[in-house]
C-alpha cells in the first residue's frame, strides 16, 4: 500500500465511482415540471440597448395645446343720463295750508308755486306741448270743477260750470280735447266725458250706474281707459277701455282683486 502524500486529500468517491464535473448553466429560466406534461424552457428576452437620439429636445408647454389664455374684460360703467334741463314736474301739495299746485325741476331745484287760492287744487295734467295745465279744484260751493291755465299759473279759466262735480282731467295727444269724470245729475254716478279745452262740445262716453275714474287717452286719441266696478253687484274694480267715438266699454281685467289707475305708454 502506498502512503498518501501529506497535505493532499483524495476526492470523495461518487456513487458511480465517477467524479462529477462542474457544468455551466444555460441562460434559460427553468420551469417547474408539471405532472403528466413535458416542461419547456423559455429563453429570456434580451433588453434592448438604449441609444441617444440626435433630435432636439422639446420642452412641453405648461398649457394645453390650442387653449387660449383668458384675458379679463373690464365691465363698462353705466352712463347716467343727465336730467332734462327744460322739463318740469307739476304736483299738488298742502304745504301752504290747503292744496295748491307747484312745479319743480327733475333735479329737485326751482320749486315754484303755481296756484294760491282757497280750496283744494289737485290732479294736475300738463298739455302735450307743456304750455298749459288742467286740474280740478273746489273753489266754489265746495264742488270740484275743471280749471285750465298757462303752465306758470297765469290766465286761470274755469272750464266746467260748477253745476255738478268734475275731476281727473287728461289731455288728448293733439291738445284740443280734455277727458274727465263727473256727474251729470245728483242721482247719477261718476261717468266719463270729453270736451273741448274751453268746455264746449261735451260728449258723454259712459252711462253706468257705478262710478268711473282716472280716464286716460291712448297715444292716437282713439281710445280711453279708466277703472271702476263692472256693476252694482260686483265688489272689486277692473280696468276698462272704450272708443272715443262711443260704444261699449270692454273690461281688460276680470279677477277677484282691485285693479285701478291705468296709464298708456307713449
| pLDDT tens per residue across span 86-136 | 689 999 999 999 999 999 999 999 999 999 999 999 999 999 999 999 999
pLDDT in tens, the chain (266 residues): 444 444 444 444 444 444 444 444 444 344 344 434 444 444 454 444 444 444 455 555 554 555 556 666 666 665 655 554 468 999 999 999 999 999 999 999 999 999 999 999 999 999 999 999 999 999 988 899 999 999 999 999 999 998 899 999 999 999 999 999 999 777 789 999 999 999 999 999 999 999 999 999 999 999 999 999 999 999 999 999 999 998 999 999 999 999 999 999 98
> Could you tell me the residue range of the domain that residue 157 belongs to?
119-251
Which cell is 147 given? 280749471
Which cell is 155 given? 290766465
The answer to whether residue 78 sits within a structural domain is no
Spatial distance between the Cα atoms of 164 and 193, rounded to a whole number of angstroms: 13
The answer to whether residue 102 sits within a structural domain is no
The answer to whether residue 173 sits within a structural domain is yes
Q: How many domains does the chain have?
A: 1
What does the DSSP assignment read for 181-195? EE-SSTTSPPEEEEE
The answer to whether residue 184 sits within a structural domain is yes
What DSSP character marks residue 202? -
The answer to whether residue 260 sits within a structural domain is no
H helices of 58-157, in order, are none
The answer to whether residue 158 sits within a structural domain is yes
Contact 171, 178 (CB under 8 A): yes
The answer to whether residue 204 sits within a structural domain is yes
The answer to whether residue 223 sits within a structural domain is yes
Q: What is the CATH number of the domain that holds 193?
A: 2.120.10.30
Measured at the alpha carbon of residue 81, what is the angle toward residues 80 and 83, in degrees to the nearest 5?
Answer: 120
CA 185 to chain CA centroid, Å, is: 47
C-alpha dihedral, 48 to 52 to 53 to 59, nearest 10°: 110
Amino acid at each position: 500500500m502506498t502512503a498518501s502524500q501529506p497535505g493532499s486529500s483524495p476526492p470523495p468517491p461518487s456513487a458511480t465511482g465517477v467524479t462529477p464535473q462542474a457544468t455551466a448553466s444555460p441562460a434559460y429560466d427553468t420551469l417547474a415540471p408539471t405532472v403528466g406534461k413535458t416542461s419547456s424552457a423559455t429563453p429570456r428576452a434580451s433588453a434592448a440597448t438604449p441609444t441617444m437620439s440626435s433630435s432636439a429636445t422639446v420642452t412641453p408647454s405648461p398649457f394645453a395645446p390650442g387653449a387660449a389664455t383668458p384675458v379679463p374684460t373690464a365691465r363698462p360703467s353705466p352712463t347716467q343720463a343727465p336730467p332734462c334741463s327744460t322739463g318740469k314736474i307739476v304736483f299738488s301739495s298742502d304745504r301752504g295750508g290747503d292744496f295748491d299746485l307747484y312745479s319743480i325741476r327733475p333735479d329737485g331745484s326751482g320749486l315754484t308755486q303755481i296756484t294760491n287760492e282757497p280750496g283744494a287744487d289737485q290732479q294736475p295734467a300738463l298739455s302735450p306741448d307743456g304750455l298749459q295745465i288742467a286740474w280740478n279744484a273746489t273753489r266754489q260751493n265746495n264742488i270740484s270743477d275743471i280749471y285750465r291755465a298757462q303752465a306758470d299759473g297765469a290766465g286761470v279759466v274755469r272750464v266746467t260750470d260748477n253745476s255738478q262735480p268734475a275731476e281727473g282731467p287728461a289731455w288728448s295727444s293733439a291738445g284740443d280735447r280734455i277727458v274727465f269724470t263727473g256727474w251729470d245729475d245728483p242721482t247719477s254716478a261718476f261717468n266719463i266725458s270729453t270736451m273741448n279745452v274751453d268746455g264746449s262740445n261735451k260728449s258723454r262716453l259712459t252711462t253706468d250706474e257705478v262710478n268711473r275714474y282716472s280716464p286716460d287717452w291712448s297715444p292716437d286719441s282713439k281710445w280711453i281707459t279708466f277703472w271702476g266696478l263692472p256693476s252694482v253687484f260686483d265688489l272689486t274694480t277692473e280696468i276698462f277701455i272704450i272708443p272715443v267715438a262711443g260704444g261699449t266699454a270692454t273690461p281688460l281685467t276680470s279677477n277677484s282683486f282691485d285693479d285701478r289707475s291705468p296709464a298708456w305708454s307713449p
